[in-house]
Structure 1
Amino acid sequence: MSNKQALRELQQRLAQRMQAAREQSQAASWLAVEAAGAPLLLSLRQASEIFTPVPLKPVPYGQPWMLGVANLRGGLHTVVDLASFLGLRESESAARLDGGQTRLVSLNPELNVNCALLVDRLLGLRGDDQLQPESAASGGLRPRFAGERMRDADGRVWQVLDLEALARHPQFLRIVI
């Protein structure tokens, strides 16, 4: 009898949790990552899956920031060292794929680019309610994929990357030297 009661209680708790999850609005909008020490925000609508690094096949005559091609869930994806592409680190010192915290973040298939970005570290999820837009700083020209800057409650400034604009950027699409 106690097994039936325990099963009923478990089912009730699961049903309550599922209902609460349905009623709760999506709290997270951003995937927070780090590339060469730079805090970046990637939209959860534009990013897809997170993978641990896998062996890569090098591509001859590729840009230094283009690390190679990987098989991710049966699909071939170009792997780009995000920090090197953004000019945050030298290509020769590109992050090694065997690092403990490096991850591959694939772009959403709706962007029609089979690509994964190598990031140095995942820093978790962030919600819009945790971030405030940073006042526009006067600076040089910025590429279209560099969105607004956001500040969190700790005062850390995050750079938003528009992955759709990045996937269409001419320099990003020019993978051959």
Structure 2
Amino acid sequence: MSGTAPTERRSRLRQYQVQLLERMQAAKSGATESGRELGVLIGGRPCLLDLTQISEIVPPQPVTPVPLTHDWYLGLANIRGHLTGVIDLARYRQQAPGDAAPSERRLITFAPGLGFNCALRVERVLGLRKLAGMEAVAGDEFRDGEGQSWLRLDLAQLVREPRFVQVGLV
């Protein structure tokens, strides 16, 4: 993409985001084949997120730190007029941070049905993946046709973890 004009890249990125949003909305309404996941990179590790558990993908927003919180709780961001807690899941899981460029980072907001107003900061969005075409390795680990290992994250389970919901230092 080195020879591509910035406006053309932005246009293609916007088109990709619109298509991805349409697919996510179709998945939530049951209009698509089940087992589609959003592939993301967190802490340098490919992960899968269930499309029904996420709301949207947004570019990084300014985050205001909140005093006396854990280091993985980055703070609050204004996303479409709503104050949203931003979580660094790699830090939460005690993983090393990935090396993605800041311009590739995105925020993935949780679906309203989870009842937890927050977003995960991911290093990169890797696109849609079909879970049915992957081999279950162990627990929440899957392997795709190219041998790539993926960790499937259950956001509904995550919001039930006492440590996750207690962002303040005790």
User: Do structure 1's residue 126 and structure 2's residue 133 form an aligned pair?
Assistant: no
Q: How far off is 1:26 after superposition?
A: 2.8
Structure 2 unaligned runs (5+)? 1-25
Q: Which moves more between the two structures, 25-34 or 107-116?
A: 25-34
How much has 1:27 moved relative to structure 2? 6.5
1:39 maps to 46
Amino acid across the alignment from 1:102: R
Taking only aligned residues, the RMSD between alpha carbons, in angstroms, comes to 2.2
1:117 aligned counterpart, secondary structure:
strand
Q: CA deviation at 1:116?
A: 0.2
Q: What is the aligned residue count?
A: 140
C-alpha displacement of 1:129: 2.9
1:83 maps to amino acid: A
State the shift of 1:130 in Å: 2.5
- Aligned twin of 1:51: 58
Do the aligned partners of 1:80 and 1:116 also contact (CA within 8 Å) in 2?
A: yes
The secondary structure found in structure 2 opposite 1:26 is coil
Alignment of 1:11-90 (within 5 A): 25-26=32-33, 29-89=36-96
TM-score normalised by the chain length of structure 1: 0.73
Secondary structure of the corresponding residue to residue 156 of structure 2: helix
Deviates more, 1:50-59 or 1:124-133: 124-133
SS in 2 for 1:150: strand
TM-aligned CA deviation for residue 94 of structure 1? 8.5
**Which deviations, in whole Å up to 9, do the C-alpha atoms of 1:127-161 show, x marking residues without a partner?**
12321211x3xxxxxxxxxx611110001111111
Query: Which residue type is aligned with residue 163 of structure 2?
Result: Q
| 1:164 counterpart residue number | 156
The Cα offsets for residues 39-63 of structure 1, whole Å up to 9 and x where unpaired, read as 1111001111001001111101010
Asked if 2 retains the 8 angstrom alpha-carbon contact of 1:107 and 1:116, the reply is yes
SS at match of 2:52: coil
Deviates more, 1:161-170 or 1:98-107: 98-107
- Indicate how the Cα distance of structure 1 residues 110 and 27 shifts in structure 2: closer, same or farther if over 3 A, else same: closer
- 1:148 matched to which residue of 2? 140
Instruction: Check 1:41–1:94 CA distance in 2 against 1; reply closer, same or farther (3 A cut).
Output: closer
Identity %: 40
Matched residues in 1 for 2:125 and 2:52: separation? Answer: 17
Gaps spanning 5+ residues in structure 1: where?
A: 1-20, 137-146
Instruction: Tell me the residue number matched to 1:139.
Output: none
